[in-house]
């Protein structure tokens, strides 16, 4: 077995679950390239009202960028809700095509904590369509899967990062092909 040099780390979870905080922290520590769907959407469609079509454009752009970066030997972190299975399947195809190891991190959060985080950063969340009630509903109904690392983000950031790094860096993965 050889250790894969390219890694693709996917952060998934409902709004206000800590995805961005953890993804940015991981990238700061590792030097991985960071791609965030909300930022890509904001740059591509500055006046977006965050409708589904705009999110799909941003997902496609983020996946395209991840594909290019991985093809050039870089490790990449992608940060988006990844609520829909189709979006997760697309990123898995990119990992397979570029022979990168895929690490799926699902950020879990109780709906009350998500609502509190939303209130604390009022008017700072990039999703302009969010309300406190919607954040609570999305956290309560988020379709978590059995894939990857399920992470309770009510823990301290350093504790979460330690678990993430253990998951991403302690596994020997065989290179395909």
CATH number of the CATH domain containing 22: 3.40.50.300
Rounded to the nearest 10 degrees, what angle do helices 157-169 and 19-30 cross at? 60
pLDDT in tens, 2-50: 345 899 999 999 999 999 999 999 999 999 999 999 999 999 999 887 7
Encoded tokens for 171 = 């596994």
pLDDT in tens, 113-158: 999 999 888 766 666 678 889 899 999 999 999 989 999 999 999 9
CB-based contact 65:109 (threshold 8 Å): no
The verdict on residue 175 lying in a domain is no
What whole-number distance in Å separates Cα of residue 167 and Cα of residue 104? 10
- Considering the entire predicted model, what is its pTM? 0.90
What whole-number distance in Å separates Cα of residue 148 and Cα of residue 127? 26
What whole-number distance in Å separates Cα of residue 149 and Cα of residue 72? 26
Domain total for the chain? 1
Cβ count within 10 A of residue 30: 17
Range of the domain at 53: 7-169
């Amino acid at each position: 077995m050889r250790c894969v040099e390219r890694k693709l780390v996917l952060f998934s979870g409902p709004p206000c679950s800590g995805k961005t905080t953890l993804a940015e922290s991981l990238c700061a520590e590792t030097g991985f390239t960071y791609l965030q769907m909300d930022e890509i959407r904001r740059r591509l469609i500055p006046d977006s009202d965050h409708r589904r079509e705009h999110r799909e454009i941003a997902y496609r752009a983020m996946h395209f960028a991840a594909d290019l970066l991985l093809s050039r030997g870089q490790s990449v972190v992608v940060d988006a809700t990844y609520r829909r299975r189709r979006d997760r399947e697309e990123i898995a195809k990119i990992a397979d095509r570029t022979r990168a190891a895929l690490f799926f991190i699902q950020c879990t959060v109780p709906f009350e904590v998500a609502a509190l985080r939303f209130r604390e950063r009022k008017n700072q969340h990039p999703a302009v369509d969010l309300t406190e009630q919607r954040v609570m509903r999305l956290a309560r109904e988020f379709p978590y899967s059995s894939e990857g690392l399920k992470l309770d983000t009510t823990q301290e950031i350093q504790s979460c990062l330690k678990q993430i790094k253990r998951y991403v860096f302690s596994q020997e993965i065989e290179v395909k092909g």
